[in-house]
Amino acid sequence: MTHAGGLLNVVDVEATCWEGEAPAGAVSEIIEIGLTVVDLDEGVRVAKHRLLVKPARSTVSAFCTELTGLTQGEVEQGLGFAEACRELAALHRTGERPWASWGDYDRHQFTRQCAATATPYPFGRRHTNAKAVFTDAHGLRRRPGMAQALRLAELPLEGRHHRGDDDAWNIAALVLDLAGRGAWPGV
């Protein structure tokens, strides 16, 4: 048995970050949302989507640019956070489809940012922590990062690590690998 319709949204966000403490008055905000649609019935990744999000209460630090490749100039061209959430819901039925992320950071970041900006939460309740599923399926004691999990699963890291769309694409490959082993919930 698979999820309704067999489609799953795999989400990864990048947020403003700093090497040390955040500057006074700045908060970590989503600057990129990557989403890969997975067809669990067919065992394929069917769509890759990227949204840039303009931060309202922080800026992209040199550390953040080094990590993600994203610059302040790029994210300035992005959508406002509320608009990005509406676009996710409209394009990918995020309120209806189950979704997954690598760990709980992405889910918590959306929850915090939606609360802070009075933006309706764009996702439904059916979230799966793919990192926890991978850890259990592989009998690991510690939860690996995404790049380490790809190595353990003998899958390539495609694109640039710490880019939302590429990370969502790679996490989707791990989800499909887990589904192929019968280890993904609901499959």
Average pLDDT over residues 161-178: 97
At 77, give phi and psi (nearest 5°): -85, -5
What CATH number corresponds to the domain at position 9?
3.30.420.10
Structural domain that includes position 119: 4-180
What's the pLDDT at 1? 34
The answer to whether residue 63 is domain-embedded is yes
The answer to whether residue 71 is domain-embedded is yes
12 close to 101: Cβ distance less than 8 angstroms: yes
1 close to 98: Cβ distance less than 8 angstroms: no
Average pLDDT over residues 34-39: 98
* Residue 152 exposure: Cα atoms within 13 Å on the Cβ side: 17
12 close to 167: Cβ distance less than 8 angstroms: yes
Asked whether the CA dihedral 184, 38, 164, 156 is positive or negative, the reply is: positive
Residues in CB range of 137: below 8 A, 6 or more apart:
178, 181, 183
- At 53-66, the pLDDT tens digits run 999 999 999 999 99
What's the pLDDT at 2? 37
How many domains would you assign to the chain? 1
